[in-house]
Amino acid sequence: MAKLSGMKAICTYINRSEATVLGWIRDLGFPAKKLGGIWESNTDLADKWHLEQLEGPAMPAVARLKKRPEPRLTTR
């Protein structure tokens, strides 16, 4: 188990952008946490999470889209 300290280290290890990693943390439970102002994770947890994502059921494209509010129509 190797410690990953800092968002840059996490992103480099999994070869994804910071925006992607933050989205995974928020929406998909990627194993990283901000402790004392520094993002931390470890390679074992990241690898395990990645395998679980690959082995899990495929999510339909429609389910991946965030629901946007309906536009408001105004009448005068």
Q: What pLDDT shows up at residue 73?
A: 76
Q: State which H helix or E strand residue 41 sits in.
A: strand 38-42
Tell me the average pLDDT of the chain. Answer: 87
Look at residue 26 and tell me whether its pLDDT is greater than 60. yes
pTM: 0.71
Q: Among 23-27, 50-54, 58-62, which stretch is predicted with the lowest mean pLDDT?
A: 58-62
The answer to whether 13 and 4 have CB atoms below 8 angstroms apart is: yes
Q: Among 30-34, 40-44, 53-57, 69-73, which stretch is predicted with the lowest mean pLDDT?
A: 69-73
